[in-house]
Amino acid sequence: MKAKKSYGQHFLNNEHLAERIAQLLRPELAYQRVLEVGPGKGMLTKYLLDQDFRLTVVEADRDMVNYLQRHYPALKEDIISADFLKVPLDRLFTEPFALIGNFPYNISSQILFKMLEYRHLIPEMVGMFQLEVAERIIAPPGNKVYGVISVLVQAYYEGEMCIEVDRRNFTPPPKVQSGVIRLTRKAETEIGCDEKLFRRVVKQAFSQRRKMLRNTMKSILTDQELLADSFFNQRPEKLSVADFVQITKWIEERR
């Protein structure tokens, strides 16, 4: 299991930690398959293979693919040599699967957005991120790191911090600490409004997070609309996912 940075790769070196991460998956959520992103030399893979589901791994590094083929013959055809971000997951899976991995820091947000795109297939995700990113994903309203990624992920998933990981658990050690979070899909996978508009509303609201909505939302709403309701005197970090959904519905009704 590895994390990629532009200057190199960082391999998890703690066997006990790898086993703990693998055990965070909960097959009782009615999935039989698991997709691991970026397995590297298989530190996590070996413990996933011990569990009672079918494992598929996606690895972009050809050298690591060759290593996995030699050392984990049990995977057979379930090793996919590809860039995860370019893999059409609905062609790979026709049934629910869990997503797991020590995600490359530089594309971790893109991995989350892809998870959201295929959320109808992904009831659970267990992932290692840079710690500050992990904290941002699961931050509640009112928290200083609550932002765009918090709202967009929490619209569909419940999140929790499971393990904080010291940089010394990697070889070579990265410059930052890491955190493992678990995301569990909500029972309702639709939010009841135009999702494209919802994303636009959230991103626009946080474009200047210290300003009130009546200042940041001028590209979407008129001054008259923004001044008509005291709701828009709030700052975005105070709003819940439900609040952002309500704003989106309010805009839809007026358009």
Residue 120 is labelled as binding a ligand? no
Residue 40 is labelled as binding a ligand? no
Q: Which residues pair with 54 in a beta bridge?
A: 33
Residue 59 is labelled as binding a ligand? yes
The structure tokens listed for 171 are 């070889």
Residue 12 is labelled as binding a ligand? yes
Residue 152 is labelled as binding a ligand? no
Residue 38 is labelled as binding a ligand? yes
Which residues fall in the annotated binding site for S-adenosyl-L-methionine? 10, 12, 38, 59, 83, 102
Which residues fall in the annotated binding site? 10, 12, 38, 59, 83, 102
